[in-house]
Amino acid sequence: MRTANIGRGRLLFAVPTALAGVALAWLLATPDGPSPTAAVRVLAVGLGATVFGLAAWQWLQRDERRPALDAGLLWRTLAAVAGAWTIAECVLVVLEAAETGGRSHFAVAPGTVVDFVRVVGAGRLGAVTVACTALVTLIAAVAYRRSLPWPAAPVLALTGLALIARPIGGHMSQQTLGSLLDAAHVLAAATWFGMLTALALTARSRGAWASLLPRYSTIAWRCVWVLAATGLINAAVRLGGIAPLVTTGYGRVVLAKVVALAGLLAAGWWLRRTWVGPAAAHRIDADASLRRAVGESATMAVAFGLAAALATTA
């Protein structure tokens, strides 16, 4: 058990790899961006995706008499991660308020934040996000503490709303179907990353991995194609041609995302052959599956860092 807990703790390696993605985007895009808030944004998005994944597993096993993942453990983990997500979103609102008001990120007056939330569209979206994450935290905590059979669908919906609130008001919001494409892109990425990190946090046995990893693999491949299609459309609309891929900071970060996605696709194909099949046949123990999930999550976090930086790159 102690070894497994140490293995789960290694999920924190996703933090430096996500920040490495942000740093790479900064090198590629300077002076066009990204905003310094991208470092906090990627942490918030990663936590949010994990909450989404936990809620998704809770929902998927809602009718199972003997679920592979313990419902109490799912709610407890969900409450803890959602609490951290709420804190990250609060910090992000404060930093965005400082940036909008031209103030120091380390000395922001409460009035500046209030005005940002009250007047600026991005501030209102940030407030909606914080409200959703706080409500998810409360629901999960109560469901765990009182052992309530709370339905997962409302939590999943609130989490999804919190994840898409900012993106649907971003670059593509003024284009036809732009917000819908952004929402699909974000939710596909959250499902792909979050359901894997959720498994790493809550799957305790060889049987759980054998039951759920093949289901995750099928869902993940579908998400990847949604992610690729929506990302391609978004980039084509925003850039308007081939030349901006190399002449603009935004285009260079897009290229880096394409390379990262291609690498993840290759890794996913290899893992599908060497991990998913053997795990489904009970030929890989839980600790080995955990190590592979942690490694894959940390690698995927680089792409999340690039995406978070891209959202704030001119």
Please state, rounded to an integer, the average pLDDT across all residues of the chain: 90
**pLDDT band at 95, cuts 50/70/90?**
very high
What number is the average pLDDT over the span 246-261?
Answer: 93
CA distance 46 to 300: 10
Q: What is the DSSP string of 32-64?
A: S---TTHHHHHHHHHHHHHHHHHHHHHHHTTT-
Report the distance separating Cα 254 and Cα 80, nearest Å: 33
Residue 169: other Cβ atoms inside 10 A = 16
The 10s digit of each residue's pLDDT in 225-235 is 999 999 998 88
pTM: 0.93
Helix (H/G/I), strand (E/B), else coil: 166:
coil
- The pLDDT of residue 305 is 95
pLDDT at residue 42, as a whole number: 96
**Tens digits of per-residue pLDDT, 19-36?**
999 999 999 998 877 888
Quick one: pLDDT at residue 175? 64
Do the beta carbons of residue 282 and residue 12 sit within 8 Å? no
Q: Is the pLDDT of residue 176 over 70?
A: no
How much is the average pLDDT of 189-206? 96
In CATH terms, the fold of domain 2-309 is Formate dehydrogenase/DMSO reductase fold (1.20.1630)
Residue 212 CB-density burial (10 A; 0-12 exposed, 13-18 middle, 19+ buried):
buried
Report CA-CA distances (Å) from 188 to 18, 145, 162, 226, 309: 18, 31, 14, 6, 18
C-alpha dihedral sign at 241, 243, 246, 248: negative
Structure tokens at 37: 């808030």
For 310, residues 6+ apart whose C-beta sits below 8 A from its C-beta are 25, 34, 250, 253, 254, 257
Q: Of the candidates 180, 159, 179, 161, which has an alpha carbon nearest to the alpha carbon of residue 171?
A: 179
Q: Residue 292: pLDDT above 90? A: yes
If one compares 281 and 2, the residue with the highest pLDDT of the two is 281
* C-alpha neighbours within 13 Å on the C-beta side of residue 216: 31
pLDDT at residue 146 in the model: 86
User: How confident is residue 148, by pLDDT bands cut at 50, 70 and 90?
Assistant: confident
* Domains in the chain: boundaries: 2-309
Arithmetic mean of pLDDT, 100-126: 83
pLDDT at 68: 92
Cβ within 8 Å of residue 259, ≥6 positions away: none
